[in-house]
Chains A and B, each alone.
Chain A
Amino acid sequence: MTSRNALSLDLRKRLGDFTLEMKLEVAASGVTALFGESGSGKTSLLRLIAGLDRPDAGHVRLDQRWLTHCQRGIAVPVHRRRLGVVFQEPRLFPHYRVRGNLTYGMPRAGRGRFDDLVALLGIEPLLERLPGTLSGGEARRVAIGRALLTQPRLLLLDEPLTGLDGERKQELLRYLVRLTREIDIPVLYVSHDTQEITAIADHLALIDSGRLVAHGSLDALLQRLDLGGRLGGFDAASRLCGKITAQDAHYALTRITLADGQTLRVPRIDQPLGSEVRLRIGVRDVAIALAMPADTSYRNGLFARIVDTAPSIHDPSAQELRLAVGEQSLRARLTRQACDEMQLTPGREVIALIRSVAFEAPA
């Protein structure tokens, strides 16, 4: 199931001073992030997929159907592509109420989904309002709901968090993460924000100046030290997945058990026992010890093995480390001096100490 590809494309288009030239397969399930600097051609690619622009050459196929095929002269018009598109701005129709916006592209058969989706996005109280009266975050949620109610075969999200302030951004990100796990539609998510991507994506396509630089599962790419500079550089992070196994009301902590049985205690996450959570751990929030220290404020220590090390490309004093924690990977950034003095070389068994403040779980 998961190995099947929903979208397959091979496109070329001249864009001002560079040429977009890309081959890409998008997985039939989960979220694929299209990541790159502004001006790298992410939005242009999205417009080509949606049919809003025409490529100079190449083709786009969704499931078994050609959407664009330049040689065969196929160009399915935008309104027949059945793609849900959420643009950078919400683009709500100002003369329809929220309800009218939501139902604009909804097929009759989609009525059953309406209530569920509206509840999931938390937009019930807004249904009779006009778009001009909505806040930025509310308008985005309506735009996302509107695209999903068309029952698309692929959802395209173009930096849907642009222009929102920190708190609104986190809130919408939480909605998006929940949504993408509930719906059974492949998602292509355009972003240049690593934090967003580690929270939401399963797969990652890294693009630069119109070319695909790397493509694969997010966890694998996050561990590639050579991509460190592109994937957030100074703020690089890795991701650990686990399950909530206990709640401690007294200290307001939540216990998370990783797949290999090790546990972490993090500030309370308001979700039921058994929920899957993803934790983002910044490379600078991991310290290394050779034995479990007794007198320290670090409450979380994980048994880990060093897989790989490389000098940091950001900071001449730093060394990047890649650790294995069970089947999962974790990155750390230490000073080169510490690495040398502690003889941290590949194969060494160590303790990874994680500052409890380092947990960010927009889930």
Chain B
Amino acid sequence: MLSDAEWQALALSLKIAGSAVGWTLIPGIALAWLLARHEFRGKSLLDGVIHLPLVLPPVVVGYLLLLALGRQGWLGHWLQASLGITLPFTWQGAAVAGGVMAFPLLVRAVRLSLEAVDPKLEAAAATLGAGRWRVLFTITLPLALPGLLTGSVLAFARALSEFGATITFASNIPGETRTLPLALYTLIQTPGKEAAAARLCAISIAIAMLSLIASEWLARRARRRLQERDR
């Protein structure tokens, strides 16, 4: 049904978007928890920085990533020299770009759901002998699960559709960083490939719809368990 090139772009997209969610999940939850449950100096500044990728042109984010994580960048140089990790022009780099762009969506959704967890239940758990971590893992996170799922799926979909930051930071290398949007862009640039472009377009829409439906279904399932009333 799909051509080899299409399969390649699809598989690569899923791998990159999955990794993007994977590496942002724990820092995202930690920051959301910090913002939802604590007051500290510079909180609004932190909140602003987290939201920057949402309002900046993606090309700017890609360029900044290149400056910081490129071979000559301060962080990139260190990664290369001490850990042997190269990010620019690799699929890992594309996952970093996708993760950064999706981060604000993830943090927002998780923060909202954490704020909805009643602190009285956490206090009750503490009186029952549960320390901070046990409260987090047995009360706070399970009760915030619907938001965690929604946030993850949203971030996954955002990373899947990432274009500007990816092409700037990771370039458009077939089999390495050419994800669905980049493949589509390439086809549009090529005369006579309108039909192939339309097929990729349809694939993108199908995946986006699927992830939204999946998110809705997961969230409803999780919520139903929390709100079960009367037999």
A93 to B129, CA, bound (A): 14
Interface residue A308 (Cβ < 8 Å from any Cβ of B): no
Cross-interface CB contact of A104 among B123, B130, B143, B227, cutoff 8 Å: B130
Please count how many residues in chain B sit with their CB below 8 Å of the partner chain's CB atoms.
22
Contact B126 A78 (CB under 8 A): yes
Please count how many residues in chain A sit with their CB below 8 Å of the partner chain's CB atoms.
26
Contact A147 B128 (CB under 8 A): yes
**Nearest CB in chain A: distance from B119 CB, A:** 10
A94 to B222, CA, bound (A): 12
**Nearest CB in chain B: distance from A145 CB, A:** 12
A94 to B128, CA, bound (A): 16
- In the complex, what residues of A have CB within 8 A of residue B129's CB? 79-80, 82, 105, 150
Say whether, besides A89-B120, A93-B121, A95-B143, A83 and B228 are in contact (CB < 8 Å).
no
- In the complex, what residues of B have CB within 8 A of residue A104's CB? 125, 128, 130, 138
Interface of chain A residues 57 through 105 with chain B (CB within 8 A): 77-85, 87, 89, 91, 93-95, 104-105
**Nearest CB in chain A: distance from B44 CB, A:** 27
Interface of chain A residues 121 through 177 with chain B (CB within 8 A): 129-130, 132-133, 146-147, 150
- In the complex, what residues of A have CB within 8 A of residue B48's CB? none
Q: Is the interface of A mostly helix, strand, loop or mixed?
A: loop
A150 to B128, CA, bound (A): 6
Interface residue B209 (Cβ < 8 Å from any Cβ of A): no
A95 to B143, CA, bound (A): 7
Interface residue A183 (Cβ < 8 Å from any Cβ of B): no
Interface residue B190 (Cβ < 8 Å from any Cβ of A): no
Interface residue B230 (Cβ < 8 Å from any Cβ of A): yes
A159 to B149, CA, bound (A): 38
Interface residue A9 (Cβ < 8 Å from any Cβ of B): no
Residues of B within 8 A of A (CB): 120-121, 123-131, 138-139, 142-143, 225-231
Q: Given A104-B138, A132-B229, list of 10 further CB < 8 A pairs? A: A79-B131, A83-B127, A91-B123, A91-B124, A95-B142, A95-B143, A105-B127, A133-B231, A146-B128, A147-B128
* Nearest 9 CB-CB pairings of A with B: A105-B128, A91-B124, A78-B126, A85-B127, A105-B129, A79-B126, A130-B228, A132-B228, A132-B229
A-B contact pairs, 9 of them (CB 8 A): A52-B127, A77-B126, A84-B127, A85-B127, A91-B120, A93-B125, A94-B227, A130-B225, A130-B228
